[in-house]
Amino acid sequence: MDFKLKYGDYALITGASSGIGKEFAEQLASKGLNLILVARRKNRLDELATSLHQKHKIKVKTIRIDLLKSGALDELVDATKDLEIGLLIPNAGMETHGNFVENSLQTETDVQKLNTQIPMQLAHLFGAKMKSRKKGGIIFISSTFGHQSVPFFANYAASKAYILSFGQALNYELKQYNVDVTVLSPGLTKTEMAINMTDIDFKKMPITAMEVTPVVRKAINALGKRQAVISGTWNNTMDIMGKFMTPRWVLTNMFGFLINRATIKNN
């Protein structure tokens, strides 16, 4: 299968200024896809665009948008109206953790909007065009935290459960139109998101942070083949043990215990 023919001309990646999104940009550029990179930190996008253009001779458009701002999607559709988007990666996301009721309601609402509503709306807008073209692909980013309830990440984990469910269902709906959908569930991955969780000592949990390269490679290799993939052998093992050996309520309690124990408390 010619990747560029199937998923070109452009891949649109939200949250491309760092972490997993930036790595998607690098790996897709090496496959010859042109790119549309979206995030708030435009200087980072522009630096990445220059280096990818020089290295791979591809076209790269950068768009500075705060996806939480009202009218953001109209702006994005307008800025890309002349470009054929064959691959959509609604990757931009944010997390909150701690006691849900003590967190800011506005921030929790933003988590839900950025992690669920925006990917759903992007998939509707660009998926419809892929369906009529009868080609294309979408890679959603869930999380291993989306595979069960996670106390102290209650809203974040629920947002990722939504993406997993939604993406797998869309895989079924769209495959008859030659549009491939895959959901990637990374475990803890070495990005700004993970680094910024300074009040959690992940060494106290049975998880190891992965580098972004194999995480993203897993999703790209799965596109067109798998509905959903989890990155990392250990994360897959944990998922199998969880699904087939442990009732859901036990997993919820186990995560509650582990995250509470790993949280560095100031008082």
Ligand X SMILES: NC(=O)c1ccc[n+]([C@@H]2O[C@H](COP(=O)([O-])OP(=O)(O)OC[C@H]3O[C@@H](n4cnc5c(N)ncnc54)[C@H](OP(=O)(O)O)[C@@H]3O)[C@@H](O)[C@H]2O)c1
Preceding amide of 9 cis, omega within 30:
yes
Place of tokens 């190891």: 208
Active site (annotated) includes residue 160: yes
Asked if 85 and 11 touch (Cβ cutoff 8 Å), the reply is yes
DSSP string, 72-124: HHHHHHHHTTTS-EEEEEE-------S-GGGS-HHHHHHHHIIIIIHHHHHHH
Closer CB to ligand X, residue 127 or residue 146? 146
Binding of residue 66 to ligand X (CB under 6 A): yes
Q: What is the per-residue binding string for ligand X in 15-54, x denoting contact by CB under 6 A?
A: xxxxxxx-----------------xxx-------------
Determine the Cα–Cα distance for residues 52 and 57; give it in Å rounded to an integer.
7
Binding of residue 94 to ligand X (CB under 6 A): yes
Interface of this chain with ligand X, residues 225 to 254, rule: CB under 6 A = none
Determine the Cα–Cα distance for residues 100 and 115; give it in Å rounded to an integer.
17
Binding of residue 158 to ligand X (CB under 6 A): no
Phi first, then psi, for residue 53 (nearest 5°) are -65, -45
Interface of this chain with ligand X, residues 160 to 199, rule: CB under 6 A = 186, 188-189, 191-194
- Sign of the alpha-carbon dihedral angle for 28, 40, 75, 72: positive
Which H or E element spans position 247? Answer: none
Closer CB to ligand X, residue 110 or residue 135? 110
Closer CB to ligand X, residue 199 or residue 249? 199
Least Å distance, CB 24 to ligand X, is 9
Binding of residue 111 to ligand X (CB under 6 A): no
Active site (annotated) includes residue 156: yes
Closer CB to ligand X, residue 9 or residue 75? 75
Binding of residue 201 to ligand X (CB under 6 A): no
- Near ligand X by CB under 6 A: residue from 34, 116, 143, 155: 143
Which H or E element spans position 126? Answer: helix 118-133
Binding of residue 155 to ligand X (CB under 6 A): no
Binding of residue 141 to ligand X (CB under 6 A): yes
Q: What is the per-residue binding string for ligand X in 72-91, x denoting contact by CB under 6 A?
A: -------------------x
Count of H-run helices and E-run strands, the chain: 11, 7
Q: Which amino acid, residue 234? A: W
| Catalytically active residues, by annotation | 156, 160
Provide the binding-site residues for ligand X, judged by CB under 6 A.
14-21, 39-41, 66-68, 91-94, 114, 141, 143, 186, 188-189, 191-194
